[in-house]
Structure 1
Amino acid sequence: MDDPIRLACPSGELFNPVLTMGTQVSCLLVISHFFQLLFKPLGQPGPVAQILAGFVLGPSGLSHIDKVKKFFFQNFAIDYYETMALYARIIIMFLIGLEMDFPYLRRNFRVASIIAGGSSLVCTIFAIAVTSFIYEETGAHGSAVMMALTVACDLS
């Protein structure tokens, strides 16, 4: 008699990628909420807590433990994760656009321009500094200048 779980998922994996991703998002939300409770008295915004939660659960944190890594980085679900990451980026950019306050920007154009220009300049300097390292480590086969421009645009 065939096992119904094996029939439902021929690769032998016991988890559905959508359910697994829901569990992963739940874990990320709980950990980021914990960090937000810690950092809110220090005046840190919510995205700082979310970034730290990503570090804790990502490859640089708890994913060094084999069981956690096997759960959070399943090989059969990579296509699902890439698709969902694309949709999540689209939604986040849409939400950022909704939060734009153009009358405020017009009133504070000089200060906003200085902050935007300064942060872009710092990101460009950082990109120039790390591009040679990234180029060597990834074994890239293209123009290093183009890679520096791409990294600078990504960071800015």
Structure 2
Amino acid sequence: MTDPSSLPYRRNVGAVIFNEAGKIFVARRTDMPGAGGGPDEGVWQCPQGGIDDDEATDHAVLREVSEETGMTSLMLLGEHPDWLSYDLPAELVGKALRGRYRGQTQKWYALRFTGPETEIRLDLDAHQEFDAWKWIPLAQLPTLNVGFKKPIYEKLAVSFSRFS
């Protein structure tokens, strides 16, 4: 078994995307148990992803959102002031994140989606991460099936409440 303390955190960006009505975008992961179930089953999350070498975090978040969702009509609203970190559960250490990380440390941004919903495409990447999406109230974010990411989503629901 891999000792988590021997592994670094993966640097990552995340996006809480608001529509004009003040609701946020969440998508259901394709690689989690129950992901193919009913409309509310599976693991729902906000888009997030890695940061390329020498890439600015504000550029990384726009790139990741575009790759995962097809959204390009985005406006930067703000960012959470701190990096937020989470540790993987013990059963995922050495397996998830290609086995190279103990968890992730993330820079989170609030974005406004200004385009038509027809712009949202989850099937653009050969390794499709999501199979469904929906708009929800920001306050509902921590109540989704997000498991070990719940403390981060609780902080973001407070930090970004001014944008809803």
TM-score (norm 2): 0.24
More helix as a share of residues:
1
Give the structure, 1 or 2, with the largest relative contact order (CA under 8 Å, sep 6 or more): 2
